Amino acid sequence: MDFELIHIPQPFFKPTNSVRIGDAILDTGHMSDASTKVLREQLESGKLKGIREIIITHPHVDHIGGSEALAEAAEKPHTVFKGGDKIIRNFVGYLLEVRKEQLELFSRLFSLGSKDVPSKFLDSFLDSYFPINQHYRDVNIWRVVEEGEEIRIGKVTLTVIHTPGHEANHMALYHKPSGTLFSGDLIADNAQFAYAPLTSSVRDYENSLRKVLRLKPILIVPSHGEPIENPTEHLNKCLENVQKTKGRILNTLVERGEITHFQLVESLFNAADPMRVGFLAAVVLSYLDYLEEEGKVVVRRNDETTVSLR
């Protein structure tokens, strides 16, 4: 099938792929000035000129941000997955929740660890990536969809696939005739679980990977990075990496006994950059939640989060 990728830059992370399909686009990027500048230019005279509708794979800042920031995007009819509409309609409230969670994670992690993160660093990150002191538009939510529904764009029909893991209200879109899957942020090009604040789940991620694998896609178009032309191999690699990461955590606990969350992160990864350490700590915490659900570890969430084998 025919589609075009437009790379929308964002702070700190890889650009977001805004995908044009006919007269619709998937996702509008971040709300930063650099992001909206590219989006505006593309809407006015670039590859996105003439689009009539917008489809949002999930309501994260790097996917709905352009719609929240630009009037010319916000006014177009949007299709979103059920649950995502509530986040979009209370976007500042959502950002405040995210900021609170991230602040608690970083503060607990680094106040107890061997590295100190200046508060101005964290404030700068939160203000850049989850900004609350700017004007957000009323996004025109035209349609709310659920699992199995179809979205028609001209002669193209896409099937909605509910794929939680990175985000609870996340959908992928499948074009069955060509075997093309627009996977949003479910599938990363490094074949690793992509943590996100509030609702990410390794268990859901694993289940969604298996669900997508059953579709036997021929091409995967992720929201970050280039299209994946070996979908079956890549999906199996993603599943394999889940088991490997769980195994590494359990083996570390066998060797060291009860340790703090920070010590576990240090044992698993060789990372010095504070933001990188914070992100990895959140990933590890997501895996600990999964292992705790399986009854394999005990996580004690006090002032100092500790973990041990059950």
Query: DSSP string of the chain?
Result: ---EEEEE--SSSPPEEEEEETTEEE-----SHHHHHHHHHHHHHSTTTT--EEE-SS--HHHHHHHHH-HHHHTS-EEEETTHHHHHHTHHHHHHHHHHHHHHHHHHHHHHSS----HHHHHHHHHHHS--SS------EEEEE-TT-EEEETTEEEEEEE--SS-TT-EEEEETTTTEEEEETSS-TT-S----TTT--HHHHHHHHHHHHHH--SEEEESSSS-BS-HHHHHHHHHHHHHHHHHHHHHHHHHH-SEEHHHHHHHH----SHHHHHHHHHHHHHHHHHHHHTTSEEEE-SSS-EEEE-
Mean pLDDT value across the chain: 92
**What's the predicted TM-score (pTM) here?**
0.93
CATH placement of domain 237-309 = 1.10.10.10
Phi, psi values for residue 308, rounded to 5°:
-150, 165
The pLDDT of residue 110? 64
Residue 117, pLDDT > 60, answer no
Domain boundaries, the chain: 91-129, 237-309
The pLDDT of residue 191? 96
Instruction: Please write the tens of the pLDDT for every residue from 57-114.
Output: 999 999 999 999 999 999 999 999 999 999 999 999 999 999 999 888 877 766 544 4
The pLDDT of residue 258? 92
Instruction: Please write the tens of the pLDDT for every residue from 1-30.
Output: 899 999 999 998 899 999 999 999 999 999
Q: Strand 297-300 relative to strand 306-309: parallel, antiparallel, unpaired?
A: antiparallel
- Rounded average pLDDT over 235-241: 98
Residue 207, pLDDT > 90, answer yes
Instruction: Please write the tens of the pLDDT for every residue from 247-302.
Output: 999 999 999 999 988 889 888 987 666 677 778 889 999 999 999 999 999 998 87
